[in-house]
Structure 1
């Protein structure tokens, strides 16, 4: 594992938020799973305008302790088939704080939201 890969993995695991450069820097909650960052948008979840038009996005991970920039990188953007990625969706649901229907998140997301995979480019 390269130093960059290790820094990305460590930063993504330690902090549940990141910044995506879209129309402007946008704060997003996420989960790290199986070598990638997963996030959910749409419906009652976080809006990420313009993400659907991108095949790559600039990601900034910051320290949970002091907010300092840990690492920046480009990531490939893809929509996740929620049925095929049930394990990743379960990890995301576990990280989703303060949901009104936490026990039914995967079902609601399947109806009204999009799950994204951001794969760091090395």
Structure 2
């Protein structure tokens, strides 16, 4: 894997506004997800990395400023290297999978589920607001 580039994190600043990652781990997952998505040759791996970016972007708080986010991303970029990037990304993906598993257990549908079943004949959808 190519050396991680702070430009990836900087690109996130442009789209993230005044948001910051909640934890150092979240910041690492954003950085790695973005890097792996950009460099992945395998479409499945690229999709997983992109999902990680969106998942961890969703964990960003609106209460922190862009300079705070930049400082966090800069600090976490320094902790990542070619040796720990892969295992760290695997942990990021495993955390997402755990949430998907929890959703399935709770009766929700995973993102790649089939289309919903149609109602039984004679049992239409109730009108909105009921």
Please tell me whether Structure 1 or Structure 2 has the larger radius of gyration of its CA atoms.
2
TM-score by length of structure 1 reads 0.27
TM-score by length of structure 2 reads 0.26
Could you say which structure has the higher strand fraction?
1
Could you say which structure has the higher helix fraction?
2
